[in-house]
Amino acid sequence: MKSSEVINAKFSTTKFREGYSMQEVDTFLDQIRGSLSAWESGQPGALTAAAIMEARFPLTKFRSGYVEDQVDAFLDEAAAALNTFESGEPPASR
């Protein structure tokens, strides 16, 4: 995963069942993008793969929120990408 993929991330929304707070997820995605961008330029990022795996978001009810499974799957990919950088392995090309 590259930082540009974080910018283009889109998730389905839900209104009448629980979902993740859109604002909280979007803010966290900005942090992920910044960390990936730092690693891509040769500098360690501020956010770690472990921090991504530990992230929790407020749930919404009766207002729009992101579908939890989609966000969780994306965060798994982002954590794997950061883990690759943190371990010193060259990132896989796409």
> For the whole model, what pTM was predicted?
0.88
- pLDDT given at position 94: 43
Work out the burial of residue 13: count CB atoms within 10 Å of its CB; fewer than 13 is exposed, 13-18 middle, 19 or more buried: middle
Region 50-64: mean pLDDT is 93
Cβ contact 80:86 at 8 Å: no
Q: Long-range contacts made by residues 71-77, C-beta under 8 angstroms, separation at least 24? A: 71/11, 71/20, 71/25, 74/9, 74/11, 75/32, 77/1
Domain positions in the chain:
18-87
| pLDDT tens-place string over residues 10-23 | 999 998 889 999 99
Cβ contact 20:56 at 8 Å: no
Residue scoring higher pLDDT (6 or 16): 6
